[in-house]
Amino acid sequence: MNIICAYTANVDAVCNIQGEEISRLLPRDMKIELKKSIASREDLFSSLLFCMMQGSGAEILIENETVAGRIEESFSWQFRLGGNAAIMSNVLALLGAKPVLNAPALGPRLAGMLHSAVHVPALQAADPLQKEKTEMVHFVFQFKKGSEVLSGGRRIVAPRDNRFIATYDPVNTRILTSQNFDNYCLDNIHDFHGALLSGFHLVPLNGYQEIFAERIAQISSWKETNPQIFIHMEMGSFQSPVIMHFLLSLLPKIPVDSLGMNEDELAAAEELQPGLPPSGWQESMQAAMRLREKLGMFRVAVHTRDYIMSVMQPGRISAQDELIALQKGVEAATSLAATGIATGKQKAEINPLGLEAVEEFCRNGAVASGRGAFLHKGGVIVSLMPSLVVHKPRITVGLGDTATATMFFQELMAIRKMSD
């Protein structure tokens, strides 16, 4: 199964937060808030502590290379594969697919982290992207539930596991591609079964319209040449709701078949007040149904801490196959969190809030199937699958990408089964 994975690939520098280490570095007086960008080390601390207080995740752009250098010098790091597309390509390769990855800033460290089955069309020596200094590195700060930091006499305790990402990345923030990748995809587009797209959330407010126009034209050319290719786009934490809404307005023009997001991104798509996502599965279902209808899309999926929900038109994937896809995605993310390997076997308890949502879903007419349930409602199929609980996660980065890639793989197999 041949799959395009675009657009972001980088190295993640991961720091596991130690409260005492952070406390020693903090300035005496600092306002704790989520910054729009990071112009200093103090901005980093302000945003990191905000996420720790809320137990929330975020990804904020670093304004310049000098600040990125100061941040890199301040902490000790563990290096892992990063970038939504790169992580998903590795997961797909583990599952037996043949992913083709866009990686224009490919150095030896990044190349060594990719699965041997991931194909990166070779860069030409004269490619202007080779002038970029080094591999792109994103700074990931992981914190666990109960992690403590003292700031100006104030004790901050993280209510749940999560991560904060600070990014200086002139390649991925412009969604650059290599000419070899562009040529390879277009020349072989009839051989591809799917395209898994992400990374658009990294684009800054300055110039986003021009950047999106070029990439949307590329994706549209794939769809025009091969109408059967199944395209899923994953959202992210955008720098501004304006950017997200502009992107959403372009998706029907491709058209994209499937869209994925978390509850905060769903709230942004619905233009709800920031920090107030839909409360409960019923509100999420209604919001996802409205968004799918507005965009004229086959499928919209919403992943939360407690469950994954999808709303799709009937015909291409059966309700049972969609639930299997959601379940496989949950299990892969759980395995990665618990063991560090997406394809490992890991026993875990069902998230109690997710289980409660499924039970209530069934009381409202849904049909139970395995751990989840589905409902035919308003001409669409709504599927709900509870998440699993990992009490002592080894990894908190890349879980969503792992779930998304696994679900996408299962859905492609289901689509091929329905068409045979």
Whether residue 347 lies inside any domain: the answer is yes
Q: Residue 132: what pLDDT?
A: 44
Strands 230-234 and 194-197: parallel
Give backbone dihedrals phi and psi of 303, rounded to 5 degrees, phi first: -110, 130
**Tokens standing for residue 208:** 């986003």
- DSSP 8-state secondary structure symbol assigned to residue 415: H
According to DSSP, residue 255 is labeled: T
The one-letter amino acid code at 398 reads G
C-alpha span between 234 and 407 (Å, rounded): 12
Q: Which H or E element spans position 152?
A: none
Q: What is the pLDDT of residue 273?
A: 55
Neighbours of 98 (CB within 10 A): 16
Backbone angles phi, psi at 112, to 5 degrees: -70, -15
* Ramachandran angles phi, psi of 351, nearest 5°: -55, 120
Beta strands in 40-186 (DSSP E): 58-61, 78-82, 98-101, 137-143, 148-151, 154-157, 162-167
Residue 99 in any domain: the answer is no
Number of domains in the chain: 1
The Cα–Cα gap between 375 and 382 comes to 5
263 touches 270 (CB < 8 A): no
Q: Is position 338 within any domain?
A: yes
CA angle 225, 230, 234 (to 5 degrees): 120
Strand partners, 162: 143
Domain membership of residue 240 (yes or no) is yes
Given a contact cutoff of 8 angstroms between Cβ atoms, the answer to whether 84 and 198 are in contact is: yes
Q: Has residue 251 been placed in a domain?
A: yes
- Determine the residue type at 416: R
Beta carbons of 194 and 231 less than 8 angstroms apart: yes
List, as one string, the DSSP characters of 92-133: HHHTT-EEEE--TT--HHHHHHS-TT-B-PPPPTT-GGGGS-
Q: Which domain holds residue 214?
A: 203-419
pLDDT per residue rounded down to tens, the chain (420 residues): 999 999 999 999 999 887 777 888 888 788 899 998 999 999 999 999 999 999 888 889 998 889 999 999 988 899 999 999 999 999 999 999 999 999 998 888 899 999 999 999 975 433 444 444 467 889 999 998 888 888 877 888 999 888 899 998 999 999 999 999 999 999 999 999 999 999 999 999 989 999 999 999 999 999 999 999 999 999 998 888 999 999 999 999 999 999 999 988 998 888 765 555 567 899 999 999 999 999 999 999 999 989 999 999 999 999 999 999 999 999 999 999 888 888 777 778 999 999 999 999 999 999 999 999 999 999 999 999 999 998 888 887 789 999 999 999 999 999 998 887
Please indicate, yes or no, if residue 173 is contained in any of the structural domains.
no
In angstroms and rounded to an integer, the radius of gyration of the C-alpha atoms of the chain is 21
The domain that holds 257 is classified in CATH as 3.40.1190.20
Q: Residue 302 falls within a domain, yes or no? A: yes
In a domain, 182, yes or no: no
Q: What share of the chain is helix, strand, coil (3-state, %, to 5)?
A: 40, 20, 35
The predicted structure's pLDDT at residue 272: 61
Identify the pLDDT of residue 276: 57
